[in-house]
A and B are shown apart, each in its own frame.
Chain A
């Protein structure tokens, strides 16, 4: 046993620690709260100086985010029917009418397809590769692992121009497949290394027991190894998803229409009819949700994943 003892902290220490944690949480959550609040402000409130903390919430930002609008011209005014619902009412109050849906939903779905697609592919390939590296005698294993790691040694954006040219040659520019492949390539080194660590920790005997019990090597892998690697797979998936979800630079460079993801799209909202900060903030708030929800769902795995190996079973 190690030689330290854990003393129950005093009441004052507990209070102090509590205040410190709350303070720190407030500081880090501030930008997030500000974005969420801005999404519910009117454009005037959003740029008011001094900034308004107390304001009348409105869904105008969200309506602007999801619709495109045109200004009502004097000759349109006569044929106009009264607003049918609260959405139309909000738009009408500004002297506009809804011309159609915006492209936000489509861009958001692009993010979902590309983010989850590349995460799935990274984790799938990463798990197989990590298992092979962990269990089999692979020739020049160490060199291969170093090579895989070396792909992370420069910032990915350093190869932006070659990739741009390659994608144009191969017809991958502005396609879902192109972006999925690109993010998978970037994430694969992380996922192979992380998962190899996790699989190394799973004792070989479990698979051997399964082999003895009459299962094939592949059955032993997916029936015995995979369930125990779930913690590692979950935390690796979150890391991969966060990268692919938030990636901006490649998305700007390589997507512009069909396959454009939400990060490069959200700033373009600003240009639609003045500086519409509430619509930008609304777009950003919604964009945060999937990663937040998934992280919360997997938080048990994630915490165990981060401390994995620190405690021997």
Chain B
């Protein structure tokens, strides 16, 4: 297994820049998520690491060795495709054995390896079946089998759960994570599903329009988004943005919205003009004591919690409250924000302002 270092990686398709100069490091044994909306360059990045796409500039180090000039076949990397790409003219056994055959491994050794992998993935009984008639989950397992059989330096996975139906996806995600825990294999995983990324990833890179928005562990990214894009993309419902005009000075721990003072973490940098107060739905509570008021527009009952949609003087927001809350549509309620969790953004750049709370996360991201 290996560490992967990406340095100033860039990819242009003619006029279009798919990936803008990106750098990050994937540690040995890490389950690493490349997350972003479609067309953000995450798949292109993955394909460049695997050698299916050659970078326009930049360097890729696998285990300390610069590989950007090497063909895919010499990088010793396994790739799991979204549509599985099992060889349709071979049966399951031959599909799994195929990477070993290219290494001219003796037949007995191949058989032993295939047997071991099929036991790990619990697919012993379908080894002699053609791949055509397999269910989505079994295809997925065969594709994984083909990847792990040769014990590569790293795994690349391009939305491997995307082709499965929702019910099965959950199950497969658990299986994948369990497999990763057991094999400690460096894995780079592309997904547009933020829940999947949070659930499975050791680390996440969030990409948008070909550039990296934030890089870190799931909880840091969720709690302390570096940009408004990340704040909006991660979490469901997304982070609320309360827009206001004003000024914050370095050291300030208060902002004024609609004439009401709201505590924020002490700021490290100042800004003025159009600002945004970012707050996660679960960090708002309803409180009659609060002077900051909003009208209830809708409520959704979700079993354990209730999502309430509100219209405040600074825009719409959604809050997550206990299911027992009895706010009624049309009512006016007071809102209280959990001061330690708030993030201020500069609206024109979309960037989070540094505060005492998030500087630890954002300084190295």
A interface, CB within 8 angstroms of B: 203, 205-206, 208-217, 219, 224, 227-228
Contacts and interface: CB of A to CB of B under 8 A. Distances in A.
Given A209-B85, A210-B98, A228-B89, 8 more contacts: A209-B79, A209-B87, A211-B51, A212-B72, A212-B77, A213-B73, A215-B102, A216-B73
Nearest to A224: B87
Contacts of A224: 87
Given A205-B83, A208-B52, A208-B79, A215 B88 contact: no
A217 B85 CA distance: 16
Interface SS, A side: helix
Contacts of B330: none
A212 B49 CA distance: 11
Given A208-B52, A227-B89, A214 B73 contact: yes
Contacts of B50: 212
A211 B73 contact: yes
Contacts of A216: 71, 73
A211 B77 CA distance: 10
A214 B102 contact: yes
Interface in B135-184: 146, 150
Nearest to A217: B71
Contacts of B89: 227-228
Interface size class of B (residues with CB under 8 A): 20 to 34
Nearest to A216: B73
B235 interface: no
Contacts of A205: 81, 83, 85
Contacts of B85: 203, 205-206, 208-209
A280 B51 CA distance: 63
Interface string B249-266: 000000000000000000
Contacts of B79: 208-209, 212
A219 B73 CA distance: 11
B117 interface: no
Interface in B69-91: 71-73, 77-79, 81, 83, 85-89
A213 B86 CA distance: 12
A224 B146 CA distance: 15
B304 interface: no
B103 interface: yes
A206 B73 contact: no
Contacts of A213: 73, 98-99, 102, 146, 150
A209 B73 contact: no
Nearest to B78: A212
A228 B50 CA distance: 24
Nearest to A209: B85
Given A228-B88, A228-B89, A212 B83 contact: no
A211 B52 contact: yes
Interface string B37-78: 000000000000011100000000000000000011100011
A173 B91 CA distance: 51
16 contacts: A203-B83, A203-B85, A208-B52, A209-B146, A212-B72, A212-B77, A212-B79, A212-B99, A213-B98, A213-B99, A213-B150, A214-B73, A215-B102, A217-B71, A228-B88, A228-B89
B52 A214 contact: no
B263 to A, nearest CB: 53
A203 B85 CA distance: 8
Contacts of B73: 211-216
Most chain B CB within 10 A, of A208, A213, A219, is at A213
A205 to B, nearest CB: 4
Instruction: Report the 3 A-B pairs with minimum CB-CB distance, sorted nearest first.
Output: A205-B85, A214-B102, A213-B99
A228 B89 CA distance: 7
Contacts of B71: 211, 216-217
A66 B79 CA distance: 63
Contacts of B88: 206, 228
